[in-house]
Amino acid sequence: MLRSMGHAKGASIVRGLVEHCTKLGIQYLTLFAFSTENWNRPRDEVSTIMELFIKYLEKELKNLSKSGVRFKVIGDISSFDKVLQERIIYAVSSTSQNTKIVLTIAANYGGRWDVINAFQRWLQNNSSSDASLLSQEQIQKYLSTYELPDPDLLIRTGGEQRISNFLLWQIAYSELYFTDTLWPDFNNEQLDIAISWFKLRKRRFGIIEN
C-alpha cells in the first residue's frame, strides 16, 4: 500500500490510545508526528502528513476538549503552512484549561534543535551572564517541554532500536521499550504490554541500592 495509507491509519489510532491512557491514569502522552529531518522525505509524503495534521485537528478537536484532553505541540511550527499554524494555535488555546491528560504532539521537532533553541533563548535573556555558570535547571526552563515532566517510558515501534533525535535531553533516565509492532498496529493491548514491561523495571536513577 501507499505510505500515505500508513500515515492515515497511524493518525486514526491516536484517539483510542489517548482514551486508554486516561483510563489507566496516565496524565501525559507525547507522540512524535514529524521530525526536523522528515522534511527530507518525498514532497508528496510530507504534504500528506501536513494534510492529515489539519484534518486531525478539524475532526478531533471537539472530542479532545470533551474528553478533558489538553493539547500541546512542541517544535518549530513557524515552518508550517499558515492554515496549519492557526489550527494548532487554536487547538492549544481552546483546550488549555483541560486537566485529564496532556497530549503533546512533537511536530517539526528534534532533540538537538530543542537543546540549541533553549540555549539561544537563555542567551537572549541573560546576555550579560557567564555561560560557564549555566546550570541544567536553567536550561530546562527554556526547553519546549518545560511544562512537562520527563518521560518515564519511551516506546519505539516498527522494529527500530534508535531514538531518532527525540527528546534527547528529557529521556536521560527514561526506560526504553522497543517493539516490532508497526505504529498503525499499536493498539491498547500493545500499550498494556509495554506498561507491564515497564512495571518490572527497577529505576535507580544512578543510585546503588543497599
pLDDT tens sequence across 74-121: 999 999 999 999 999 999 999 999 999 999 999 999 999 999 999 999
First to last CA, the chain: 54
Q: Give the Cα separation of 123 and 165 in Å (integer).
A: 23
pLDDT of residue 4: 65
Those residues with Cβ within 8 angstroms of residue 38's Cβ, 6 or more apart along the chain or in another chain: 46, 49
Whether pTM exceeds 0.85: yes
Give per-residue burial for 79-93: e unless 16+ CB within 10 Å, then b.
Answer: ebeeebeebbeebee
Helix, strand, or coil here: 111?
helix
Residue 72 above 80 pLDDT?
Answer: yes
Assigned C-alpha cell, 120: 539561544
Q: Which residue has the higher pLDDT, 23 or 134?
A: 23
**Residue at 206: amino acid letter:** G
Helix, strand, or coil here: 107?
strand
Residue 2 above 80 pLDDT?
Answer: no
Average pLDDT of the chain is 92
pLDDT of residue 65: 86
Which residue segments constitute the domains of the chain, with CATH numbers given? 3-110+143-197 (3.40.1180.10)
What average pLDDT does range 113-137 have in this prediction? 90
The tens digit of pLDDT for each residue in 145-201 reads: 999 999 999 999 999 999 999 999 999 999 999 999 999 999 999 999 999 999 999
The tens digit of pLDDT for each residue in 19-38 reads: 999 999 999 999 999 999 99
